[in-house]
């Protein structure tokens, strides 16, 4: 309900005050949560603020290879941290991109581990088959080193029902998110988690796209 003297919002899109930031690559304004945040560490190194929680001054960038490259080329990263430029070690575009991907992968790994605790995932042959039969799979992550026949079976199933899939991590790495030695596939059965994971993979793709 709009209060007295307050203008009713013209659009339905929620836009809390102060939530937008400028990308130092393309200079566009975007919601803070949709951008990479970089910060300067104690030793002067520039790094990615993985969970947008690090204190102090930060600079923002789109999840986009071209924005990262433009920011480095324009020397906008060093300028974003004035007064400390002498000790600031500005990375090149490739190492900043690698740092961004590391941050995305860490968030994905955390999200999967949390999803397992909340029973929002299905991993292991029996659980996956059960979720498939029940039609509850919302997203499917296959290990990069999964056996070809297993990969083929799940990929054709997924394709048939337009279930989004990605290959991410080794079976050992996927297993670690689920307290197991190895998991060749992790299915997501929760809509919210599937959406968060989908966004992270989309970001990964935009940052890693060929120059
Ligand atoms: Zn940008």
The token pair at 139 is: 């997203």
Spell out the long-range contacts of 151-160 with Cβ–Cβ below 8 A and sequence spacing 24 or more: 154/185, 157/132
Protein residues within 5 Å, CB atom, of ion ligand 1: 23, 25-26, 62, 67
Q: Tell me: the pLDDT tens digits for 27-85? A: 999 999 999 999 998 888 899 999 999 998 899 999 999 999 999 999 999 899 876 55
**pTM of the predicted structure, to 2 decimals:** 0.86
- Span from the CA of 35 to the centroid of ligand 1 (angstroms): 8
Ligand 1 centre from 41 Cα, in Å? Answer: 23
Distance in angstroms (rounded) separating the CA atoms of residues 81 and 64: 21
Q: Quote the ligand 1 centre to 158 CA distance (angstroms).
A: 33
188-205 pLDDT tens trace: 999 999 999 999 999 999
Q: Give CA–CA dist 88/75, Å, rounded.
A: 12
The two beta strands, 36-40 and 58-61, are antiparallel
Q: How far is the CA of 62 from the centre of ligand 1 (A)?
A: 4
Distance of CA 200 from the midpoint of ligand 1 (Å): 17
Q: In the structure, what pLDDT confidence band is assigned to residue 2 with cuts at 50, 70 and 90?
A: very low
Q: For the chain, list the domains and their CATH numbers.
A: 20-87 (3.30.1230.10), 102-208 (3.30.1330.30)
Q: What is the pLDDT of residues 123-169, one digit of tens each?
A: 988 999 999 999 999 999 999 999 999 999 999 999 999 999 999 99
Instruction: Report how far apart, in Å, the C-alpha atoms of 61 and of each of 75, 105, 113, 179, 205 are.
Output: 13, 18, 27, 34, 15
Cα 111 to ligand 1 centre (Å): 26
Distance 65 CA to ligand 1 centre (A): 9
Nearest-angstrom CA–CA distance, 42 and 142: 38
**How many Å lie between the centroid of ligand 1 and the Cα of residue 93?**
14
Share of the chain above pLDDT 70, in %: 88
Ligand 1 centroid distance, CA of 126 (Å) = 44
């Amino acid at each position: 309900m709009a209060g007295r003297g307050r203008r009713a919002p013209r659009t339905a899109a929620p836009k809390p005050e102060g939530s937008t930031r400028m990308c130092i690559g393309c200079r566009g304004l975007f919601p803070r949560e949709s951008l990479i945040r970089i910060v300067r560490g104690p030793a002067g190194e520039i790094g990615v603020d993985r969970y947008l929680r690090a204190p102090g001054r930060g600079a923002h960038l789109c999840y986009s290879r071209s924005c990262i490259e433009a920011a480095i080329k324009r020397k906008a990263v060093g300028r974003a941290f004035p007064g400390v430029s002498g000790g600031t070690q500005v990375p090149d575009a490739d190492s900043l991109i690698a740092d961004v991907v590391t941050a995305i992968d860490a968030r994905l790994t955390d999200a999967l581990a949390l999803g397992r605790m909340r029973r929002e995932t299905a991993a292991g042959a029996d659980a996956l088959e059960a979720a498939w039969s029940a039609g509850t799979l919302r997203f499917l992550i296959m290990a990069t080193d999964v056996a070809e026949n297993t990969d083929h079976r799940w990929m054709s199933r997924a394709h048939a029902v337009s279930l989004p899939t990605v290959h991410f991590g080794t079976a050992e790495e996927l297993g670690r998110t689920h307290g197991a030695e190895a998991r060749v596939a992790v299915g997501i059965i929760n809509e919210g988690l599937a959406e968060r994971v989908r966004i992270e993979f989309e970001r990964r793709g935009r940052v890693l796209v060929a120059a």
